[in-house]
Structure 1
Amino acid sequence: MNSVKGEYHLEKKEFPEGTLFIATAQPLANVAAYLLEPESDDGLLVWNFFDRYVVSQWRRELQTYPVYRLLKPVNLVKESIE
C-alpha cells in the first residue's frame, strides 16, 4: 500500500477541459472527500488508484497529487455526469 508525505500549498490553477469536479453538495460528499484525501488511511492513494499520476516510471522526481480543493465558491462551466 502507498503512503504520502508532503505539504499543502495555495496556488491559482487553470484546469483543462475534461477535468472532473466533484461537488460536496451531494449525499455522498463525505465519502468522496475521504477517498480523495491523500492522508486518508483507506483512500484512493493508498490503493494505488493514482499511481500513473504520482509515480514516475523512470525517474525519482517528486510528483504532485492530482486532486485540488477549491477554497472559495467559483463559477464553473460544468456538465453533469449521470
Structure 2
Amino acid sequence: MTASAQTIPDIPDIDDLSVIQVVDDGMRLRLNGRERDEAVRRMHRRIDTDLIAWRLYITPRTVQRVVARLGLSEPAA
C-alpha cells in the first residue's frame, strides 16, 4: 500500500473521503467534529473563511474558533 499526500493518519472517526471531497472537490458536507477540524486545517489560508464556512455548513465565526483552537495563525488582514 502506498501513501499519498492526501492520506490522513489513522485517527478514529474521520471519513477521509468526506474530508477530501470538501477540501479538494468543493462539496458541501456536514462533517463530524474531527472531520471538520481536519478540513479547516487543510483549507486554512488556501481559501476564504466565508467559503470554508459555506462548505461545512458552519458560521465564519466557528471557522475562526476552530483555527484558534488548532493553533493555526489567522491570515494577515
Normalised TM-score (structure 1)? 0.21
Structure whose residues are more often helix by fraction? 2
TM-score, scaled relative to structure 2: 0.22
